[in-house]
Structures are given as C-alpha cells and as structure tokens.
Copies of this chain bind each other. A is one copy, B any other.
Amino acid sequence: MYMTLHSNNGSLTASEMTQLSPAALGLIAEFFKVLSEVSRLQIVCSLKSGAKNVSEIIEATELGQANVSKHLRILTQAGIVSREQRGVCVYYEIANPILFELCEMVCDSLSIQITQQSEQLEQLGKLRRA
C-alpha cells in the first residue's frame, strides 16, 4: 500500500516517507523544481521584505518583464506566492513561508559540506607538503 500526500490528516512522518507513492513523489519533485531556478529564488527573496508589484520585482531582480511574469505564474501555481490585483498593478506576496525554512536548511547543509570539503582539501595540502 502506498501512502498518499493527504493520508493521516496531512501529516507524514519521516518513517512513512519510505512508502510514498510515485504520484506523491511527483508532487514533491514538482515543488522542488519550482525552487530550482535562480531567477525564481531571486524573485522569492525580493518578496521577503513584503508584497511587491511586478514592476517592483523587475526592478529588484533586474530580470526581463516577460520572464518575471512567467516565473510569477509558476510560483503562484505552486502556491508559493499569492496574487492580488490593485488597480492596474498586481501585487505578489509570499504565501508559503515554509520556503525560507527550506532554504535555510539547505544553506546550513551546503555550508557544512563546503566547510568539510575545504577542511579535507586543507588536510590534503598538509599531506602534500609533508
């Protein structure tokens, strides 16, 4: 029996994850894919300080207009940002703060890796010099 994403009232423990169905893995993969583009991470980061309209996002990220528009559509569909029209302008806002936790965890993890690698390189250097 596979585990679906909304079994158990929407909460999955790590041990249950082993049995995630291909469909659930597909949703997870899709979510990660949305976060796997530098441009989209830039946009999200630019919204960290609060809601911005498209023009403001373009200015903050220095990306092209059409490009930003497309990325915002992807982020909205993924439920990561929310969209609100105010007159001519459309304001976007972080809708899913989980994202920053995720990034933080990845940052920490990568930092540790980088630190370990540089330590290993240093050890290697010492061995060479010896």
Q: Which residues of A contact B (CB under 8 A)?
A: 5-6, 10-14, 17-18, 20, 22, 24-33, 35-38, 41-42, 45, 48-49, 79, 96, 98, 100-115
Q: Are B114 and A5 in contact (CB under 8 A)?
A: yes
Copies in the complex: 2
Q: Are B111 and A17 in contact (CB under 8 A)?
A: no
Q: Are B12 and A107 in contact (CB under 8 A)?
A: yes
CB-CB < 8 A to A14: which residues of B? Answer: 100-101, 104
Chain B residue nearest in CB terms to A3: B107
Which A-B residue pairs are the 4 nearest by beta carbons? A10-B111, A33-B36, A32-B36, A18-B48
Q: Are A38 and B29 in contact (CB under 8 A)?
A: yes
Chain B residue nearest in CB terms to A107: B12
